Amino acid sequence: MRVSRLLLYPMAAVAAAASLAFFPGASRAADKPKAEAHGAPAAGHAPHWEYKGEAGAENWGKLAEEFATCRTGAKQSPINIISSATATQPRLDFRYQPSSLRIVNNGHTIQVNYDPGSTLVIDSQVYQLLQFHFHTPSEHMLQGKAYDMEAHFVHRNAEGKLAVVGVMLKAGADNGFVNTLWANMPKAAGPEKVVDGVTIDAQVLLPERRTYFLYSGSLTTPPCSEEVRWQVFQDPIEVSAGQVAAFKQLFPMNARPVQPLKSRAVTAVSAR
């Protein structure tokens, strides 16, 4: 997807990313400007999926031909992260700006769609921050340990390649930023809600220390498209137990189980 398309069709771009339905070509997104998040009524809809039961994660690959990669892929996410190599590059250069608060309950998670202009630069590749959203419990595990929640920051570069940053959330101190989000999160699936007069900065959800795990994986929701560049921070941030519970009231469990590593390597990058 080209930047010009992103600018021309911001809603389509956001909606595609919202559902994490990854359309490799810009024309597809342009053809479907009304593509909506999973859970919301949409024309030309993706098949219904859930986390448990007959349409649950174990069966995603059988629900539709377009979900086949969920079953047949060799680079699926999430994984249990056990690093096999270390490096000091590349560093993650977050250039996030404040954004208006645009929040949506898409039936699978609470997602915050981010205003254009915030980027993550990796190895001089520029990725735009499209949105961030939450899972409970965490999808990735760090050395076999799951956390209470995990936040995913979804970025895309001019060629349409995705880079997702994962941040573990563990129960501890109350998080003021999360309070702002939760106070405005729609209780039922529906369209994006624009909150007047509230400005947010996603940067505050990132841990201070920049050590992260790098590996090549996939979307963790159907259609499980591969070639996602994953960066998962080693350090968690804290939210209160009450904040975890408030999210679980809407989404008791919205995490895909860990997938086989197969022939992939995971690198621990301790960039400063």
Residue 211 in contact with residue 235, Cβ under 8 Å? yes
Backbone angles phi, psi at 105, to 5 degrees: -100, 105
3-state secondary structure of 29: helix
Site for Zn ion in 13-72 (CB under 5 A): none
Going by C-alpha positions, the residue among 169, 174, 178, 162 that lies closest to residue 142 is: 169
Which span sits near Zn ion by CB under 5 A: 3-11, 147-155, 193-201, 258-266? Answer: 147-155
Q: Is the peptide bond before 90 cis (omega within 30 degrees of 0)?
A: yes
Whichever of 152 and 156 has its CB closer to Zn ion, that residue is 152
Q: Is the peptide bond before 78 cis (omega within 30 degrees of 0)?
A: yes
CB of 220 to Zn ion, least distance (A): 5
Whichever of 5 and 46 has its CB closer to Zn ion, that residue is 46
Which span sits near Zn ion by CB under 5 A: 10-18, 25-33, 148-156, 200-208? Answer: 148-156
The CB-nearest residue to Zn ion is 152
Which span sits near Zn ion by CB under 5 A: 1-9, 21-29, 145-153, 254-262? Answer: 145-153
Going by C-alpha positions, the residue among 144, 147, 158, 154 that lies closest to residue 239 is: 147
Whichever of 5 and 77 has its CB closer to Zn ion, that residue is 77
CB of 272 to Zn ion, least distance (A): 27
Residue 150 in contact with residue 76, Cβ under 8 Å? no
CB of 129 to Zn ion, least distance (A): 14
Tokens 């039922």 found at: 188
CB of 124 to Zn ion, least distance (A): 26
Going by C-alpha positions, the residue among 76, 72, 66 that lies closest to residue 45 is: 66
Report the distance separating Cα 260 and Cα 244, nearest Å. Answer: 28
Report the distance separating Cα 63 and Cα 69, nearest Å. Answer: 11
Which span sits near Zn ion by CB under 5 A: 91-99, 100-108, 144-152, 249-257? Answer: 144-152
CB of 116 to Zn ion, least distance (A): 21
Report the distance separating Cα 209 and Cα 64, nearest Å. Answer: 41
User: Is 229 near Zn ion (CB under 5 A)?
Assistant: no
Whichever of 152 and 210 has its CB closer to Zn ion, that residue is 152
Whichever of 5 and 152 has its CB closer to Zn ion, that residue is 152
Q: List the beta bridge partners of residue 187.
A: none
Contact with Zn ion (CB under 5 A): which of 152, 156, 210, 229? Answer: 152
CB of 67 to Zn ion, least distance (A): 16
Report the distance separating Cα 174 and Cα 169, nearest Å. Answer: 11
The torsion of the CA quartet 61, 2, 132, 227, rounded to 10 degrees, works out to 40
Which span sits near Zn ion by CB under 5 A: 63-71, 150-158, 228-236, 259-267? Answer: 150-158
Tokens 């999926």 found at: 49
**Binding footprint of Zn ion, residue count (CB under 5 A):** 1
* Interface ranges with Zn ion (CB under 5 A): 152
